Amino acid sequence: MTRLLLGDHNLSVERLRYPSRYRSAVPRDLRLCRFCRAEVEDEAHALLDCDAHARLRDLREELMQVATKLDPGLYARRAGCTSLDFLIILLRSRRALVHNVARFIYQVLNVYDGEPRFVPLVFRVP
Ligand SMILES: [Zn+2]
């Protein structure tokens, strides 16, 4: 959870921000999700929005089942806010949910770590 809060994770929104030996920096709107390649691979997308990987959907469903059991008002708050806002709500949860959210973040980041990152060809240095 700390790595997520500090931006010290392996999601493309952070890792493609800076140039490396074999590629130039990638503009934020082109740091696309390695699974769906339709949205920016940022924290909110990876944790709450991406539907292109079955394990991500399963982990999210498991978390929401536990979360709504521990904090029944949580599901209602999800409907009226953005994914980023809801992620902040989850991170602030105090009803014994924090360790479940931390485990969820760890598991989702591991799913992303297990798949090569998508880098648009135009940014690769030959
Ligand atoms: Zn995605």
CA of 50 to the centre of ligand 1 (A): 4
Q: What is the pLDDT of residue 120?
A: 87
**pLDDT digit string, tens, across residues 39-96:** 999 999 999 999 999 999 999 999 999 988 888 888 788 888 999 999 888 888 776 6
- Does 115 score more than 80 pLDDT? yes
Pick the closest to residue 84 from 38, 42, 44 (CA basis). Answer: 44
Q: How many folded domains does the chain comprise? A: 1
Q: What is the pLDDT of residue 95?
A: 67
Measured on CA atoms in the order 116, 121, 125, 126, is the torsion positive or negative?
Answer: positive
Q: Which domain holds residue 117?
A: 2-123
- Return d(Cα 44, Cα 9) in angstroms, integer: 13
CA of 35 to the centre of ligand 1 (A): 5
- Return d(Cα 122, Cα 105) in angstroms, integer: 31
CA of 7 to the centre of ligand 1 (A): 18
CA of 47 to the centre of ligand 1 (A): 9
Calculate mean pLDDT across residues 10-20: 95
CA of 32 to the centre of ligand 1 (A): 8
Average pLDDT, the chain: 91
- Return d(Cα 4, Cα 15) in angstroms, integer: 13
